[in-house]
Structure 1
Amino acid sequence: MKIENPILPGFNPDPSIVRVGGDYYIATSTFEWFPGVQIHHSRDLKHWRLVTRPLDRAAQLDMRGNPDSGGVWAPCLSHADGQFWLIYTDVKRRDGAWKDSHNYLVTAPAIEGPWSDPVYLNSSGFDPSLFHDADGRKWLLNMIWNHNRTGGARFGGIVIQEYSVAETRLVGEIRNIYRGTDHKLTEGPHLYRRDGWYYLLTAEGGTGYDHAATMARSRDLFGPYEIDPAKHVLTSKDTDPGHLLQRAGHADIVETEAGEHFMVHLCSRPLDGTRKAGTGAGIHSDDVRRSPLGRETSIQRLVWEEGQFPRLAHDGPAPAAEIEGPQLPEHPFDPTPSRRTFDEALPPEFQWLRTPEPARLFSLTDRPGALRLFGRESPGSAFEHALVARRQEHLRYMAETEIDVAPGDYQHFAGLVAWYGRNKFHYLAVTADEDGRRVLTVYSCAADWPDARIDYPVTPLPLPDGPLRLGLDVDGAALTFRYTTEGGEWADLGVTLDQSAISDEAGNGPGNNFTGAFVGMCAHDTSGRGRPADFLSFTYEAHHG
């Protein structure tokens, strides 16, 4: 069985993997998107389906006011004592010398829940993980943040402290067990017990193009830890820029029932080449690699001989685009339907931003068969932003939605959006002009950092009353919008926008932006009246060839 990478396409970074019997689960970061943490399930390590997002209520997670790329960082999923354990960080501040990163624990008897209210752990750093030792004791690891230093030196090492199940809190001494290598930016710890050794896997080099996974080991839990002579078990930093999987790092390891070892890790797939000036309005024209799909999850086969450090099975530390899978029968799942309607529940691939009070943003009952979005704050809001979207999973795709909205004035607007964050989006919006006539327009914010300048690339088009269909097409770095009235033909708006700006690297660069491109439906009403827009369907399809 061959496995093609990535196994979780689109924004699915910082994977944590666990096996329970014949079932495999991967938890990934969701940052400011709600509900928090994506957990996918597989029986063969090749085919995966989303099964739950466990942080789904205010008691567990409230991200209103969190910055872009704040929120849920690097969850750790484990299973012990007959239950699942999920550790996660909620990052409230991420810029400058200080970080406010609060770490919590929730548990559940089954992966679908019910998941408990959280136990607060600490706020000393991010990327926490929970290690269950053979004697039953439990240990929390996280990187520690040193605001008195600069640059990579702020990553002060990996600290460990015991977690008391009986007292539901951390107890005992805090020990700094590992300072990392000269590659710096040491984070993302995972600890394993094997052959009388404690193996400590960390991420290093930042989550840009120098990212890496590094291994060290010790006979004693508290060290000292000796660094793998090869240093990096996984990295793309020395590969050709054309290598498919870049930015590889932040990894975790799982062992199959047959004793095979596999490593899951984040990576990105930059757009092929760059587009030069003159190939279309707004197209990015320098030579910076850009990854609209964000950081994805891939998998590598390991060879881990007794008493030795693990190695990728195909030799060298660079990730492979295709690997030999485990000795397991294939177990595919039904594909996600391309066209979604809104008859009962929100389709599972959709999320919204920050708030644990979705009823303030949308309703599936006010108009049966429609998703009604209530116009809330502006596209730059970090509090109540009525945007419901799904991940972009392909470099070439189309999306369409049917919208029914009667904007009363120009402060009320709604439509179809390609979204990364408050400084990176392209928005096809139905609104009104100053005379109250319904029009179609485009708002574009192509990572004009830090000003977030909005461009208006089309002259507003008059629209008749009634439902509309809005569409977009993405081909690598190029995005085009189209629309049609009821019973009419599709009309292209005649402008090409820079989809490469909807990426980690655009703006202030990789290592500062951590999510990925989404596409979805949104409504805004900057008058504060909460006027609605109804969406009757949504379609997402990959373009092949």
Structure 2
Amino acid sequence: MKIKNPVLPGFHSDPSIIRVKDTYYIANSTFEWFPGVRLHQSQDLVHWQLLPAPLSTTTLLDMKGNPSSGGIWAPDLSYADGKFWLVYTDVKVTEGAFKDMTNYLTTATDIRGPWTDPIKLNGVGFDASLFHDKDGRKYLLQQTWDHREYKQPFNGITLTEFDPKQMALIPQSARTIYSGTDVKLVEGPHLYRKDGYYYLFAAQGGTVFAHQEVVARAKTLAANAFVSEPDGPFITNFDTPDFYLQKQGHGALVDTPGGEWYYASLCSRPWHRQNESVHDPRGWSTLGRETAIQKVYWDEQGWPRIVGGHGGQIEVAAPKDAKETKSAPDHSRYDDFTTPTLDNNWNTLRVPFTPHMGNINAEQLKLIGHASLASTFDVSLIAQRWQAFNFDAQTKVHFNPFSYQQMAGLTNFYNDKHWSWIFITFDEKRGPVIEIAENNNGHYTSYLQDQAIQIPESATGVWFKTKVRTQTYSYAYSFDGQTWHDIDVQLDAAVLSDDYVLQTYGGFFTGAFIGLAAVDYAGYDQTATFDYFDYKELD
């Protein structure tokens, strides 16, 4: 078998990988999307099965009002003492001098939960991880944030001892163990022990095209004891601009039962317009930061290296002792809403799916219109990741608006300032109509305006479709589910990419989603009903 990268396509950033006996687990960041922390399992590192998300209640995660790309940053999954330990960060401020955040800890004896009520750890910095030493002592590592404008905000990696009896940190034990290299922006620490050394893996360079992972080691956990790997970095694509995978860096190390080593890293696959250089700009990452796995060997000096060089490989040899894991050939999905709860692929913004937002009843999804898609509060939207560059998605919606402030339909969504959709709304002269609109960096455009498509009174609902084709995407509609009418509006998919959002906003960490939404900012709770959702990959 071959590992084909990325192993988790679409928005799956900041992977934390572990092995428990013969099963591997990966935890990924979810930022403002609920439920918190994306989990997968595998026994071959090739095929991955989606598990229930651990942070599925407001007791464990309360993100109401969080900014876009706030919320869950770089969770850390570990296993010790017969249970899973999950450390996660809830970031409340993304822009400016401060990164107000709280780090929490929850545990479970089963990866599927239940997970214990969260324990507050601290707010020193994000990307916190828990290291379980061989002598039974435990330590929290984290990026350390410095708000002072005359200092480097990424103020090294702090290590603080954790008391497992009191289930609390020992603040007076805190010390900086590594300050990174001149690349700066050191973050995402994970600690391992091998052959008498502590090995510290950390990301640098920011999670952009200059991203990288460095390794340092020491024989003690004393302050500033760690020495960086010679001839580093460990992994990067900064100097491989023509390679299919880019931005590799932040991630975690894992060994196999047979003694092989692998590294799970975030990555991206930017595409380029025909008239653009592939070097500058390097492209547009509409699928966000994904997860890749590279094979690792240890050199004669005891340093870890990436097989094939620090740029990584697209195809990687699977473990010799891999047990084949069953999974679907692609991520195409069909949901006819026959179960009373949303399946694990659906996500909501900041808050869980509750009766306030809607319900599933009589094989239909009902969404109650609330705030606009430009809001960070009370948005009635369920969405799934784009996981391919080319796909079709469609739905059927029933909606009877009586105001132009009421809208419902199918959306392609990145964050509150970057999205578009095709939707049913109300025109004062013609009644219910179909419109297409886009929010591009907060600038709203209605594309059909006076040519909005009138819905005939005989219609039993409206079918909507989106066709995503790497660089552009479009919308179509039908009144019978058979005859489709393409609308001549080609939208730039780059607007839904990390790299585009980065131009104007410091929170650019997620990826494009496809979703169903209802809006009634008039405040009358007008409800939309959706019969099904079909996502079909074409790659």
Q: TM-score, normalised by structure 2?
A: 0.95
Find the counterpart in structure 1 of residue 334 from structure 2. Answer: 339
1:454 aligns with 2:444: yes
Find the counterpart in structure 2 of residue 135 from structure 1. Answer: 135
String of CA shifts for 1:502-524, please: whole Å, max 9, x gaps. 11011333964000000010000
Q: Contact conserved, 1:62 with 1:356, CA < 8 A, in 2?
A: no
1:485 aligns with 2:485: no
String of CA shifts for 1:358-417, please: whole Å, max 9, x gaps. 32212013xx10110110101111111111010000111111011111112111100000
1:265 aligns with 2:260: no
How far apart in 1 are the matches of 2:428 and 2:282? 40
1:38 aligns with 2:34: no
String of CA shifts for 1:469-489, please: whole Å, max 9, x gaps. 100101111111000002551
1:296-335 maps to which residues of 2 (within 5 A)? 296-305=290-299, 308-314=302-308, 316-327=309-320, 328-334=322-328
Offset at residue 231 of structure 1 (A) = 2.4
Find the counterpart in structure 2 of residue 169 from structure 1. Answer: 168
Root-mean-square deviation (CA, aligned residues, Å) is 1.6
Offset at residue 356 of structure 1 (A) = 3.5
How far apart in 1 are the matches of 2:416 and 2:54? 26
1:518 aligns with 2:513: yes
Q: What amino acid is the match of 2:71?
A: G
1:87-486 maps to which residues of 2 (within 5 A)? 87-149=87-149, 153-171=152-170, 172-222=172-222, 223-240=224-241, 242-271=242-271, 273-275=272-274, 287=281, 289-305=283-299, 308-314=302-308, 316-327=309-320, 328-334=322-328, 338-344=333-339, 345-356=341-352, 358-365=354-361, 368-435=362-429, 437-446=431-440, 448=441, 452-458=442-448, 459-464=451-456, 465-486=459-480
Find the counterpart in structure 2 of residue 280 from structure 1. Answer: none
Offset at residue 460 of structure 1 (A) = 1.0
Q: Is the partner of 1:507 in helix, strand or coil?
A: helix
Q: What amino acid is the match of 2:169?
A: L
Q: Is the partner of 2:501 in helix, strand or coil?
A: coil
Q: Contact conserved, 1:195 with 1:307, CA < 8 A, in 2?
A: no
Find the counterpart in structure 2 of residue 281 from structure 1. Answer: none
Q: Contact conserved, 2:332 with 2:537, CA < 8 A, in 1?
A: no
**1:466–1:296 CA distance, 2 compared to 1 (3 A):** same
5+ residue gaps, structure 1? 278-285
Count of residues in correspondence between the two structures: 526
How far apart in 1 are the matches of 2:398 and 2:19? 46
Report sequence identity in percent. 41
Find the counterpart in structure 2 of residue 528 from structure 1. Answer: 523
Q: Contact conserved, 1:396 with 1:476, CA < 8 A, in 2?
A: yes
Q: Contact conserved, 2:463 with 2:481, CA < 8 A, in 1?
A: no
Offset at residue 325 of structure 1 (A) = 1.0
**1:150–1:299 CA distance, 2 compared to 1 (3 A):** farther
Q: Contact conserved, 2:95 with 2:506, CA < 8 A, in 1?
A: no
String of CA shifts for 1:494-545, please: whole Å, max 9, x gaps. 110111111101133396400000001000000112111011100111113x
String of CA shifts for 1:237-276, please: whole Å, max 9, x gaps. 0013x311011110100000000000000000001x2155
Q: What amino acid is the match of 1:319?
A: G
Q: Is the partner of 2:355 in helix, strand or coil?
A: helix
Find the counterpart in structure 2 of residue 8 from structure 1. Answer: 8
String of CA shifts for 1:447-485, please: whole Å, max 9, x gaps. x3xxx1101122311012421110010111111100000
Q: Contact conserved, 2:270 with 2:282, CA < 8 A, in 1?
A: no
Q: What amino acid is the match of 1:154?
A: P
How far apart in 2 are the matches of 1:96 and 1:191? 30
Q: Contact conserved, 1:263 with 1:302, CA < 8 A, in 2?
A: yes
Q: What amino acid is the match of 2:443?
A: R
Offset at residue 163 of structure 1 (A) = 1.0
Q: Is the partner of 1:455 in helix, strand or coil?
A: strand
String of CA shifts for 1:274-318, please: whole Å, max 9, x gaps. 1559xxxxxxxx95611000000000000025751100122x210
Greater mean deviation of Cα atoms: 460-469 or 510-519: 510-519
Q: Contact conserved, 1:44 with 1:329, CA < 8 A, in 2?
A: yes
Q: TM-score, normalised by structure 1?
A: 0.94
